[in-house]
Chains A and B, each alone.
Chain A
Amino acid sequence: MVTRKSTRKPNVSAEELTTFYREMLLIRRFEEKAGQLYGMGLIGGFCHLYIGQEAVVVGLESVTEEGDKRITSYRDHGHMLACGMSPDGVMAELTGREGGYSKGKGGSMHMFSREKHFYGGHGIVGAQVPIGAGLAFADKYRENGRVTFTYFGDGASNQGQVYETFNMAALWQLPVVFVIENNQYAMGTAQQRSTSTPDLYTRGAAFGIPGEIVDGMNVVSVRDAGAKAIAHCRAGKGPYILEVKTYRYRGHSMSDPAKYRTREEVQKMREERDPIEQVRSMLLTGKHASEEDLKAIDKEIKSVINAAADFAKDSPEPSLDELWTDIYADAVPQNEVA
């Protein structure tokens, strides 16, 4: 039931690698900019950066099809960018402006896009897991062949509702991929201090859910594991677990001094395992791209991010009337038939 990542030479085209590079870099630069705007007081509250984890969402999004769904926690900026939501709209939500995806009312942790089938952005650890299974329930009910990616952290994987969900997802054979983004820390708690057994992907075994461990710093490995998982779900075989081993470079949120790990540990990850550097060197050593080509991509992304930051600063604050809107609906928001 468990497969380890293969050591075969990855089967990936130059074009695909370039796309991975571009998409991961977009997330990295976006997050760096968000950190900067937070420091300037333009973003407030909690802001959880995704730097270091880019390969997870970029790899998995590359195997999805139109209509597939995704849901995650508060560490959500990367997921939104990877599923095609606009950097302008996401950044403007971070600054709490009218042009944000939730008109400034949700903030960093609570953003949604019906158009991109992104179901949030959830601030309560673990709460998105049953909801993700519920999305899959709806898809199975409608027999539309869609799959839901339900992302959660190593810390969240200890919440009771995760196991209640595993049971139902297996019982009802729901088309849901549970993606455990194991970045090895839940706030200041290293995984081994909170978890009785080292592996999280085996936790579905008691419910009959297959799982595997994935190198989350390698976007190609993530893509391959994702393809296998999604095929399993689409074939009607029920849920699948991917425990993706990854790492966050920054503190848990902006206010975390991160004294629970050494700088050397972070530095080592950055230097030896960085997902973007890995793709960069694959592109260069495979002669798929020149330094110049990559510089051009860097430049292009910088300008996208600068434009997003400008948009997020210039977009007006929501009008005070917005305080009182969207509390009750007059009709069900345009219902989705995918």
Chain B
Amino acid sequence: MATEILMPALSPTMEEGTLAKWLVKEGDTVSSGDLLAEIETDKATMEFEAVDDGTIGKLLVDAGTQNVKVNTPIALLLAEGESAETLPQAPEPAQAGDADAKAVPAGDPAKSAPPSSKPAPPSPKSAPPSPKSAPVPDWPEGTMLRQQTVREALRDAMAEEMRADDSVFLMGEEVAEYQGAYKISQGLLDEFGSKRVIDTPITEHGFAGVAVGAAFGGLRPIVEFMTFNFAMQAIDQIINSAAKTLYMSGGQMGAPMVFRGPNGAAARVAAQHSQDYAAWYMQIPGLKVAMPYSASDAKGLLKSAIRDPNPVIFLENEILYGRSFDVPELDDFTVPFGKARIWQQGDDVTIVSFGIGMKYALEAAEKLAGDGISAEVIDLRTLRPMDTATIVDSVMKTNRCVTVEEGWPQGSVGNYISSVLMQEAFDYLDAPVINCTGKDVPMPYAANLEKHALVTTDEVIAAVKQVTYR
């Protein structure tokens, strides 16, 4: 029996890829460990190795083919004694390891459509609803826009600020030679050199402290945490040193710096690597906290963060890195802290979110529109300072509010918003505010459990129906 070689999943978030190049041809014999092909994933070009010994009978996918779904047969491998002639003309598509189909997702856990057992599961449609309806864009009318990923926008923000101010530097694990564990710092080492783009040892508490000292000493450090899960190693320096020194020194010195990196759940990386820290950092006086959703906000807020005279926690999201949004083509585009963005105006309910929570908020709003419910969707963009005035104004109009976030329910960002509304808009509320959050459990690894642990669009819709009594 010829063995089908399947398009491999080569990263936690990969659903499809480009078969960039074949490194073997039909008739070649290969043994385990030999290179078969180069495959471009969402993050990198990877070499793909043979697992079994045999002869390449047929290449089923041409080099250069894009969007090849994970698990699509890409070649046939003949065992000893088999010949290509004996192959069936049209090979049967492979079942995913003849396993229980439900276990196949290698991709985005936030997407709720169950993957099918077909070889090329249709990628669930997840393009964010068009931001066209944003009533107040952050740029002048007529500004040229171009599509950019959040990843590119973050890199551009750092590069622009580093060009403008030579006291700005980037440090972190794998930021320089490896070009960033998530490729956010791609190209920065080339442009700015190893004096300003610095690979650190794995010693978060140490390098966070070194960066605080550098900030006291007059530099503008950007500290990249490979993910915010590892910033827990450094949290003492972030809070006790960076956040409090301005106060403790009576205003003599502070820590103008940025701590940034991916925050929250990625895909199937389980409890120790999947935590949303929004509510934690939001609590700390002396810190500012940004958590952008779109690429334009990622860029504009990061530039503001780098210039800010205070320590800023900048919470990114791995799943959003690859998403594209309109970004204005302006020489110096910034977004101010403490100003929420209204993505969509509406009359019946206010949905407040931030970061990847916006994905659920916008999806829910779109579906609710189909049911005749008009939702106003607010993206907070920064959690500290928080633009509560925009929320209160909106709720005075809609009289109902639902908050959406990925973090845990007890002591959530939504809890804080609820208390603000209770104090400032009590008489306007027609229903209790509902906080949609991640479940009150550590993040499980199993695919089915992970899906349930996250907040879902359906939960947001149900909450809206509850507060609107539909």
Contacts and interface: CB of A to CB of B under 8 A. Distances in A.
Given A193-B199, A194-B201, A110 B449 contact: no
A207 interface: no
B70 A327 contact: no
Interface string A152-187: 000110111000000000000000000000000011
A318 B103 CA distance: 11
Given A187-B181, A323-B452, A155 B201 contact: yes
B10 A39 contact: yes
Contacts of A188: 174, 177-178
Interface string B262-302: 00001111111100000000000000000000000000000
A296 interface: no
B446 interface: yes
Interface residues of A, number: 56
A124 B230 contact: yes
A19 interface: no
Contacts of B449: 96, 104-105, 317-318, 320, 322-323
Contacts of B10: 39, 254-255
B200 to A, nearest CB: 8
A186 B174 CA distance: 9
Interface stretch (A42-50, A136-144, A198-206): A42-50
Interface in A16-54: 32, 35-42, 44-46
A44 to B, nearest CB: 3
Pick from A35, A122, A318, A323 the residue with the most CB of B within 10 Å.
A323
Interface in B1-53: 6, 8-12, 14, 32-33, 41, 43-47, 51
A234 interface: no
A112 B445 CA distance: 14
A41 B96 contact: yes
B202 A45 contact: no
Given A255-B12, A313-B99, A318-B449, A123 B272 contact: yes
B376 interface: no
B255 interface: no
A324 to B, nearest CB: 6
Interface of B is mostly: loop
A106 B445 contact: yes
Given A160-B203, A317-B100, A45 B178 contact: no
A23 to B, nearest CB: 20
A159 B203 contact: yes
Contacts of B268: 44-45, 96, 107
A103 to B, nearest CB: 8
Interface stretch (B322-330, B382-390, B436-444): B436-444
Interface in B422-459: 439-442, 444-449, 452-453
A236 interface: no
A188 B199 CA distance: 10
B202 A126 contact: yes
A45 B445 contact: yes
B51 A159 contact: no
A270 B33 CA distance: 11
A267 to B, nearest CB: 9
Contacts of A156: 202
B178 A46 contact: no
Nearest to A266: B33
Contact of B103 (A42, A106, A107, A124): A42
Contacts of A38: 8-9
A45 B230 contact: no
A72 interface: no
Contacts of B99: 40, 42, 95, 313-314
Contact of A41 (B9, B181, B272): B9
A187 B44 CA distance: 15
B43 A320 contact: no
Interface string A296-338: 0000000000000000011011101011100100000000000
Nearest to B51: A36
A194 B177 CA distance: 12
Contact of A257 (B46, B51, B174): B46
A240 B98 CA distance: 48
A97 interface: yes
A272 to B, nearest CB: 15
A305 B11 CA distance: 24
B202 A125 contact: yes
Question: Which are the 10 A-B pairs with shortest beta-carbon distances?
Answer: A107-B445, A39-B8, A44-B268, A45-B268, A255-B11, A123-B272, A96-B446, A188-B178, A104-B446, A41-B106
10 contacts: A45-B273, A109-B270, A123-B271, A186-B201, A187-B178, A254-B9, A317-B100, A317-B103, A323-B441, A327-B441
Given A187-B181, A188-B177, 12 more contacts: A42-B97, A44-B9, A45-B267, A109-B269, A123-B269, A124-B229, A186-B201, A187-B174, A188-B178, A313-B97, A313-B100, A317-B100
